[in-house]
A and B are shown apart, each in its own frame.
Chain A
Amino acid sequence: MAEVRIGVYVCHCGTNIAGTVDVEEVARYAKQLPSVVIARDYMFMCSDPGQALIKSDIKEFSLNRVVVASCSPRMHEPTFQRACQDAGLNPYLYEQANIREQCSWVHEGDEATQKAKALVEAAIRRVSHHEPLEIKEIPVNPNTLIIGGGIAGIQAALDIADSEHRVYLVEREPSIGGHMSQFDKTFPTLDCAACILTPKMTAVGQHPYIDLFTYSEVEEVSGYIGDFKVKIRKKARYVDEERCTGCGVCQEKCPWKTDSEFDIGLGKRKAIYFPFPQAVPMVPVIDREHCAYFLKGTCRACERFCEAKAINFEQTDQILELEVGAIIVATGYDLMDPTPITQYGYGRFDNVITSLQFERVVDCVGPTGGKILLKDGTQPKSIAIIHCVGSRDQNYHTYCSRVCCEYALKFSHLIKEEIPDADVYQMYIDMRCFGKGYEEFYDRLSHEGVNFIRGKVAKVTDEAVTDEERGRLVVIVEDTLLPGVIRVPVDMVILCAAIEPRSDAEEVAKLLKINRSIEGFFMERHPKLEPVSTPTEGIFIVGCCQGPKDIPDSVAQALGGASKVLSLISRGKVSLLAATAKVDEMRCHGCGRCEEICEFHAPKVINKNGVMVSEINEALCQGCGLCAVTCPAEAISIRHFTQEEIKSMVDVLTES
């Protein structure tokens, strides 16, 4: 290694430092330390002449290391690094001693000078160990993959595609739309869901920059930011998308019926079907499980009636390979199945339904044509809406599902609209109306004659004790505001079931190498400042897959995700962090402790000529150092924060 030649610059910062610390003495002290070629003190190091001093010294004295003792490196490190770089010195051969914020401003007299000397000496010792680092850049593929076509995925896709960059939108179901397509009205404005969603869905379907893959799933993801390789399985629909005109004759003529998933068991659909009338794409799917041809080998009614000759029973799954620079995950949520909460009788009583089922009931294109009806076809006279079913409950989910209070209010309005004399009960723990216009919405509904009962429902039963209760459902709850347990006989019970992580969230997380928080939703990079980024660079999470939220928040996140991706694309390249982990293969045991502990999936044990060694993916490494400390063989070190560097500082600072 070439001889280490250090230049040390002690800043007065006017009187900010020099008023307390004897800067000349510090410079004099630094001057006589090993490897120090020149040590100066100067009024304002960050000023242009100050920087020029460093630059000219680098040249004149052939300095190969620079230490500035001044303010916090959080303030001016980039400034001085740039000065070094301008003079041809690698910016990583620079070190700053913080003698203002952490010395002259908080200490006095001799002690301050003494400490300043120590800090400068430690910086000098450390800088001797610094090595030049290369800042690598990798190009960013301008295509984007979006997984999940709910409102969040749709919004993100449109925003990115509008900038004329390719988007691949992958949706598992036969149509995009997600949960929002199952709603009739949306709180707090009560505008019709279809009216605001359908135009967006159509726009996706027609957008020249969006390649839509419905009835498809992502099977494999490899690579890293800027350069992901993705495999997609496009499941066979048995309908030729190119030929199909979406006329719907096949659906009409198909003689086979089964429960509709879209209507959550409340209605029926055919074996060849569109999930709902506004589906995008307007291409039906044959459900093999219920199609007579696939089950028994005869029928083919759809084929006979299809004028476009679009039915193709021979179709097979297709595997598509795509290359993208960034991925947005928008897989949404599942509604919790309330069957395990046996005291509410879901699954046992016909007229106990979930909130999502009620959305279908009130939807004008739903199974009842928008009429609120009981199972037997009669109109309910009283309805109980039970809040927090499985949310805010230590036995199920501790978190709040965030949207139930509002949609429960929405429901009571819709009920009152259709059956003005119905008794509607809201059984809640707290009314949480935090969003813009939500409190006003609550206020408005409070005047519509809805009964608010503050209490968590203990039980829903059909055991009547009075005549009034006979043949009806009885909700048992303590009204905590008017103490006393009450029995409320009703005709229908709506359970506001919790919003849950998707049942396959774990597999999806593994596939993408992203993390999940304790409750199982995907985890963001930082809860406040990085709400849509993940620890894996280049992968973003938007909408309810990150946690329960309403449509406005889902859309806001979608826009956030789109802007993250667009900023990547518009720069066209990413600079990789230089101070990352490094493996010494001669020391590595290949034990995988690093692989296990890393949140960013940067280290990976591979078989290299028969020997197991860890390899760091520099595009993923964030330089946090967790792996280096975990390695028992001292095979991993962190550039710019090596053991020698830190230990050399420890040595100086404990002693002076």
Chain B
Amino acid sequence: MNGFNLSRSIRTRQLLQVRRMRKITEFEPRIIAFTCNWCAYSAADIAGISRFHYPANVRNIKVMCTGMIDPGYILRAFERGADGVLVAGCEIGDCHYISGNIKAKERVERLKKLLHILGLEDERLRLEWIDAGDGRKFADTIENMAGKLKKLGPSPFKKEVKS
């Protein structure tokens, strides 16, 4: 019994140590999420109510509709060193303002073409439709995006990287 406990606490300590070390070395991507008030933002609330933990890398900015998101905001985030940007709105057909999300999709697609020329990895800008009740999807999306961005490494526009 004692032996078991001992080995377990050693393991925990080791684990903690590894985690602490990782914290220093491992890069933590920053995600800016523009979330629609009516769905994705509410999904993030539901994720909270359901205690679905997800990485703390994300910072939500609430907008009334994805149609309100100016491509300039997304570029501003990249300029300032965001590693990824998420645009999350209502399912097609569910937009509170009818076609805001359709227009947002067109804008994101056009911006992606431009970011492609610039040489930015496609995964750094992501568009998702997340239903108001779908806390699971919100948490999963962030988890998944953070994972991908970790693999990609820091954005080329990150302050520290700049010469």
Contacts and interface: CB of A to CB of B under 8 A. Distances in A.
Interface of A: 72-75, 98, 100-103, 105-108, 111-112, 114-115, 118-119, 122, 515, 523, 525-527, 535, 579, 597, 599-600, 622-626, 628-630, 638, 641, 643, 646-647, 649-651, 653-655
B48 A625 contact: no
Contacts of A101: 44-45, 47-49
Interface in B34-55: 37, 41-42, 44-45, 47-49, 51-54
A641 B37 CA distance: 12
Contacts of B63: 625, 641, 646
A106 B98 contact: no
Contacts of B81: 654-655
30 contacts: A72-B48, A75-B45, A101-B45, A101-B49, A103-B48, A105-B48, A106-B52, A106-B54, A106-B139, A112-B56, A599-B98, A600-B97, A624-B65, A625-B68, A625-B100, A626-B100, A628-B70, A629-B67, A629-B68, A641-B64, A643-B70, A643-B73, A646-B70, A650-B32, A650-B61, A650-B82, A651-B76, A653-B32, A653-B59, A654-B81
Contacts of B71: 629
Contacts of A112: 56
B51 A654 contact: no
Nearest to B83: A654
A111 B64 contact: no
Contacts of A107: 53, 56
A654 B98 contact: no
A108 B53 contact: yes
B48 A106 contact: yes
A106 B76 contact: no
B73 A650 contact: yes
Closest 6 CB pairs of A and B: A625-B68, A101-B48, A624-B97, A653-B59, A111-B56, A654-B80
Contacts of B54: 106
A108 B54 CA distance: 10
A643 B37 CA distance: 17
A112 B57 CA distance: 10
A638 B68 contact: yes
Contacts of A75: 45
Interface string B118-138: 000000000000000000000
Contacts of A623: 64
B48 to A, nearest CB: 3
Contacts of A103: 48, 56
Given A111-B56, A535-B98, A106 B65 contact: no
Contacts of B105: none
Nearest to A523: B98
Nearest to B48: A101
Contacts of A527: 93-94
B70 to A, nearest CB: 5
A654 B48 contact: no
Contacts of A515: 98
Contacts of A624: 64-65, 67-68, 96-97, 100
Nearest to A653: B59
Best-buried of B37, B71, B98, B107 by chain A (most CB within 10 Å): B98
A653 B42 CA distance: 19
B103 interface: yes
Nearest to A115: B56
B64 A625 contact: yes
A143 to B, nearest CB: 28
Give the residue among B32, B52, B59, B107 with the most A Cβ atoms within 10 A: B59
B93 A597 contact: no
B53 A599 contact: no
A106 B51 CA distance: 6
Nearest to A526: B96
A564 to B, nearest CB: 17
Nearest to B75: A650
Interface centre among B51, B67, B73 (most CB of A within 10 A): B67
A188 B80 CA distance: 65
B62 interface: yes
Nearest to B155: A654
Given A73-B62, A628-B70, A114 B45 contact: no
Q: Which residue, A107, A119, A628, has most C-beta atoms of chain B within 10 A?
A: A107
Contacts of B61: 122, 646, 649-650, 653
A238 to B, nearest CB: 45
Contacts of A630: 103
A125 B82 CA distance: 18
B69 interface: yes
Given A115-B56, A525-B98, A650-B77, 12 more contacts: A106-B48, A106-B56, A111-B56, A118-B59, A119-B59, A535-B97, A579-B64, A624-B100, A643-B72, A647-B73, A649-B61, A653-B32
A383 B97 CA distance: 49
A638 B68 CA distance: 9
B141 interface: no
Contacts of B52: 106
A101 B62 CA distance: 14
Contacts of B65: 624-626
A552 B60 CA distance: 45
B61 to A, nearest CB: 5
Contacts of B53: 106-108
B99 A599 contact: yes
Contacts of B37: 74
A424 B68 CA distance: 58
A107 B73 CA distance: 26
A622 B98 CA distance: 11
Nearest to A649: B61
Contact of B56 (A114, A579, A653): A114
A118 B60 CA distance: 11
Contact of A115 (B45, B59, B68, B96): B59
B106 to A, nearest CB: 11
Given A73-B62, A114-B56, A641-B68, A106 B47 contact: yes
B80 A651 contact: yes
A102 B98 contact: no
B107 A629 contact: yes
Contacts of B94: 526-527
A650 B34 CA distance: 10
A654 B77 contact: yes
B81 to A, nearest CB: 6
Given A72-B48, A101-B48, A646-B73, A626 B97 contact: yes
Given A118-B59, A650-B73, A625 B67 contact: yes
A102 B45 contact: yes
A80 to B, nearest CB: 15
Contacts of B97: 535, 599-600, 622, 624, 626
Of B53, B62, B71, B82, chain A has the most CB atoms within 10 Å of the CB of B62
Contacts of A629: 67-71, 103, 107
Nearest to A625: B68
Contacts of B99: 599, 626
A97 to B, nearest CB: 10
A273 B76 CA distance: 71
A236 B117 CA distance: 66
Q: Give the most central of B63, B76, B97: most A CB within 10 Å.
A: B97
